[in-house]
Structure 1
Amino acid sequence: MANLIPVSYKLLKGMNESLILDIIRKMGPISRADIAKETNLTPPTVTNIVNKLIEEGVVVEYKVGESNGGRPPVLIKINPEFMTIIIVHISTNNLHEYTLDAELNRKSEQTHSIKGLKEQEVLELLMSTLDKAIKESPNNISGIGIVVRGPVKTKEGISVFAPNIGWRNVPLKAMIEEKFEIPTYIMNDVRAMAWGEFQMGKAKEVENMIFLKVGYGIGSAILINGRLYIGNNDSAGEIGHTTIDVAGPKCSCGNYGCFEALASEKALVNLVVKSIKEGNDSIVYQMAKGILDSVTPEMIYEAAKLNDKLAINSLETIGRYLGIGIANIINTFNPELILIGGGIVQGRSFFEDIMRETTKKRAFENSYSSCSIAFAELGDNATLIGAANMVMDEVL
């Protein structure tokens, strides 16, 4: 594995170099004076290190900034050609590959459907996609990030269980590094999305946040003091499987009344289908052409926009359960921000008021008053941004 980077930039170049590079990467274009303020290093130290990074082609002098009375500062930013990385996001039905430069500009990308593929076939598709991307890249690849659904062992790089594929305990990191000799990092999709929001989205200015991805399931990521909290054995964040109603519907995990079973898009679909079967009218039935197994959340959102009473009432019910779950989170974690992403955001206008009202009633006033509730806006792009930053944090 001769091509594998044996040590991090931090160890290879020193802590100060790594610190300054991290500031330039995340805050650039930035002046030498502002780097000194952010790092608490002396201006001469910053100047010497930045000049060295320029000589090595790691950063570049970008442009002259605005003057605050003295000589206009020269702004520094990362050299986009310094590094090329590959991110593969395996979503519910597709495998997306992105080749990115050091500024996270997309240099190339591929998308392949994984619908109907068996576990081994998805693995073979992953390997062939990586092989193609690596061969077609004009630059050496510094790192690879693989984003999967379900729990992962981050350090070991193992996909513990990917529910959309059926993988169990697949050692992706070891397999990819053995084949391509490139440092590889495996990450959970919700944590990657949360990290992307923390880097460039609604969570950019906070240190303590709970991110909820509400789609067909409910996943979460916990950010404490600006760091992802993963728990004792990488299992933190299973908020979707906390109990909301012991007499509630059965969850996919086998328990009854889980947050996910009551407030997810799957719960929304189940609620609408059950109501239609009980004889309630809804244009969702016509949208599904009478085939209730084909009802989707998107149909329900569209029906609500058309003032369908059943769709609106169902979304309000989901909002009420979301409020209960969010109140529990606020009482437990006392975060600065709860950020909601995922498909459920499409129905926001129909459930947000009742969600906030329920949360306010059930959360402790002191914790509620200091917590903001917001909706993510980066979408799937947050996953890409988060995964890319995770890879670069590791490589650098």
Structure 2
Amino acid sequence: MKKVYPVSYKLQKGMNEKLILNIIRRDGPISRADISKKTNLTPPTVTNVINKLVEENLVLEDIMGESSGGRPPQLVRLNPEAFNIVVTHVSSNKLTGYLTDAYLKVSKKVVYDIERLEKQKILDLMFEVIDELIKSASQEVPALGVVVHGPVKAREGVSVFAPNIGWRNVPIKKLVQERFKKPVCVENDVRAMGLGEFYYGSGKGVDNLVFLKIGYGIGSAIIFDGKIFRGISDSAGEFGHTTVDIGGPRCNCGNYGCLEALSSENAIVKAVVKDLKAGRMSLVRELCDGNLEKVTPDHVYRAADRGDELSLSVLQEAARYLGIGIANIINSINPKVIVIGGGIIKARLHIEEIINKSVEERALTNAYQSCDIVFSELGDIGTLKGAGNIVMDEIL
């Protein structure tokens, strides 16, 4: 019979308990002394709270740290078996479900192709996946996370518009809560990925960052002190739709010269195909077997790795505009770190130097020198890490 550790919702009433538990789950294993320093709580207070958390089976204290001369400190960490978390990620062409422990380690993952499913069928499948994962859990699942591509109203839990799957103003939070009688957190996939980088990836240890996901389009997340800056209508950070060339191509938003229309993977593919149709030679034609309708970003990246002139020139032009967009972000927001993620990181070797040079030429010197431009460490798993963190905040 499964041993279930009930999650104590009484902990929500104690600010010290919440503060310490969040320090442990993000920075553990950690000593009581270090917790005291990070929280400014007295050592006796920290000890009393940790004793309570141990009794609740939320924290373990079975690890010894390095000694600085005296007795080695006993480290505490989150109990991975304290509870399970279920997160579902609905992208433009697939639905992925994750069952994790309290450390966000995946114990079960299921993936379904939804490219040809109607919007109601996708909702029904999401319910089935959540139900399957809850039944597979070895511990209590106190809350659920749903990640959706496209704009969302996170507080209300509404998918405003999910391109390619036909969702418009779908009240996901309401529907899932009614079905499973559990708290539900809904977030945009790029913002979730940005949070993942903030807490567990390239942005770990900094106070603030801007995350840019360069994929088919360009999405972003602005994070200050662990919180997403959303703006008054939940649409802050649409850097992909800032103008970087008033004479540039038309963007999907209807404007001209948007960063997304010049530096996204879709823009890169369009530029390559346009030149191929004009008669330019390229390895891309060989890689796609001569079918220009089937050209993908990976074809361009692979050709660039083999020294293909057309692919390299298109990537370099996209990198130059991306640098302009990043310079605008640095000048207006002055972040500590900008993390670049998404499929574009496969071309890092060909674009990083050009991006940095373009930024240096256009950003204010003081702001540029204070900002680190880095690439994602986590990749797609960052989405799960960020979404799981949101659910953990709800639980704790």
TM range (shorter): over 0.9
Q: Take 2:184 and 2:10, find their aligned partners in 1: how far apart are those partners?
A: 16
Separation of aligned partners in 2, 1:15 and 1:256: 49
User: Hey, what's the Cα distance between the residues in 1 that align with 2:214 and 2:332?
Assistant: 19
Q: Within the alignment, does 1:314 sit opposite 2:328 as a pair?
A: no
- SS for the counterpart of 1:173 is helix
Deviation at 1:382, TM superposition (A): 0.8
Equivalent position SS for 1:82: coil
Give the 3-state SS of the residue equivalent to 1:177 in structure 2.
helix
Residues 119-198 of structure 1 correspond to what in structure 2 (within 5 A)?
119-198=119-198
Per-residue CA distance 1:169-211 (angstroms, 9 max, x = gap): 0000100010011111100111111101111111012112111
State the match for 1:381 in structure 2. Answer: 381
For 1:210 and 1:41, locate their aligned partners in 2 and report how far apart those are by CA, in whole Å: 31
- Are the equivalent residues in 1 in contact too, given 2:7–2:140 (CA < 8 A)? no
Contact 1:149 1:164 in 2 (8 A): no
Counterpart of 1:104, as a letter, is L
Which amino acid in the other structure matches residue 301 of structure 1? Y
Matches within 5 A, 1:77-92: 77-92=77-92
Deviates most, 170-179 or 59-68: 59-68
CA drift of 1:6 comes to 12
In structure 2, C-alpha distance between the alignment counterparts of 1:316 and 1:208, rounded to whole Å: 28
Match of 1:63 in 2: 63
Question: Percent identity between the aligned chains?
Answer: 53
Bigger shift: residues 311-320 or 132-141: 132-141
Distance of 1:318 and 1:277 partners within structure 2? 19
2:7–2:83 Cα contact (<8 Å) kept:
no
Is residue 150–residue 161 contact of structure 1 (8 Å, CA) maintained in 2? yes
Q: Please give the residue correspondences for 1:77-116 in structure 2 after superposition, counting only pairs within 5 Å.
A: 77-116=77-116
Q: Secondary structure of the residue that 1:186 maps to in structure 2? A: strand
User: Partners in 2 of 1:224 and 1:64 — Cα distance?
Assistant: 33
Alpha-carbon distance between aligned partners in 2 of 1:148 and 1:93, rounded to the nearest angstrom = 11
Partner of 2:3: none
Q: Aligned runs of 1:215-234 on 2, under 5 Å?
A: 215-234=215-234
Report SS of the residue matched to 1:129.
Answer: helix
Amino acid in structure 2 at the alignment position of 1:215: G
Structure 1 residues 236 and 139: alpha-carbon distance in aligned structure 2, compared to 1, 3 A threshold: same
Q: Match for residue 43 of structure 2?
A: 43
Whole-Å separation in 2 of the counterparts to 1:375 and 1:171: 34
Distance across 2 between alignment mates of 1:44 and 1:160: 48
Counterpart-to-counterpart distance in 1, 2:118 and 2:91: 15
CA distance in 2, matches of 1:353, 1:27: 33
- Paired position in structure 2 for 1:282: 282
Q: What is the rounded CA distance, in whole Å, between the counterparts of 2:378 and 2:305 in structure 1?
A: 23
Deviation at 1:139, TM superposition (A): 2.3
With normalisation by structure 2, the TM-score equals 0.96
Shift of 1:8: 6.0
Instruction: Classify 1:9/1:158 alpha carbon distance in 2 versus 1 (closer, same or farther; 3 Å).
Output: farther
Alignment of structure 1 residues 202-281 onto 2, 5 Å: 202-281=202-281
The 1:9/1:391 distance shift into structure 2, 3 A limit, reads farther
Supply the AA of the counterpart residue of 2:224.
I
What value does the CA root-mean-square deviation take over the aligned residues?
1.6
Matched pairs, number: 391
Query: Distance in 1 between the 2:63 and 2:194 partners?
Result: 32
In the alignment, is the contact (CA less than 8 A) between 2:337 and 2:372 conserved in 1?
yes
Deviation for aligned residue 1:10 = 5.2
1:138 deviation in Å? 2.9
Please say if residues 29 and 62 of structure 1, whose CA atoms lie closer than 8 Å, have aligned partners that are also in contact: no
Distance in structure 2 (CA, Å) of the matches to 1:183 and 1:278: 55
Taking a change above 3 Å as real, the CA distance of residues 240 and 9 of structure 1, as seen in their structure-2 partners, is farther
C-alpha deviation, 1:7, in angstroms: 10
3-state DSSP class of the match of 2:18?
helix
Amino acid paired to 1:295: V
Deviation at 1:15, TM superposition (A): 0.7
Distance 2:139 2:353 in 1: 50
- Residue 91 of structure 1 and its aligned partner are, at CA, apart by 2.3
1:30-81 deviation digits (Å, cap 9, x = unpaired) = 1112111111111111111111111111111122222212222111111111
Question: How does 1:338-349 map onto structure 2 within 5 Å?
Answer: 338-349=338-349
More displaced 10-residue stretch of structure 1: 59-68 or 341-350? 59-68
The DSSP-based 3-state class of the residue aligned with 2:207 is coil
TM (norm. structure 1) is: 0.96
Unaligned runs of 5+ in 2: 1-5
Residue 271 of structure 1, CA deviation: 0.4
Deviation, 1:354, is: 1.6
For residues 47 and 132 of structure 1, the distance between their equivalents in structure 2, rounded to whole angstroms, comes to 39
Quick check: 1:244–1:259 contact (8 Å CA) kept in 2? yes
Contact 2:340 2:376 in 1 (8 A): yes
1:302-337 per-residue CA deviation (whole Å, 9 max, x = no partner) reads 111111111111111111111111111111111111
Aligned pair in 2 of structure 1 residues 6, 385: CA closer, same or farther (>3 Å)? closer
Contact 2:97/2:110 (<8 A) preserved = yes
1:104 & 1:62 partners in 2: Cα distance?
A: 20
Residue 136 (structure 1) shift: 2.3
Which residue of the partner structure matches residue 200 of structure 2? 200
Question: 1:11 and 1:129 mapped to 2: Cα distance?
Answer: 29
* 1:21 correspondence with 2:24: no
Partner of 2:168: helix, strand, or coil? strand
Q: In structure 1, what is the equivalent of residue 299 of structure 2?
A: 299
Question: 1:331, 1:31 → 2: CA distance?
Answer: 40
The offset of 1:9, in angstroms, is 5.4
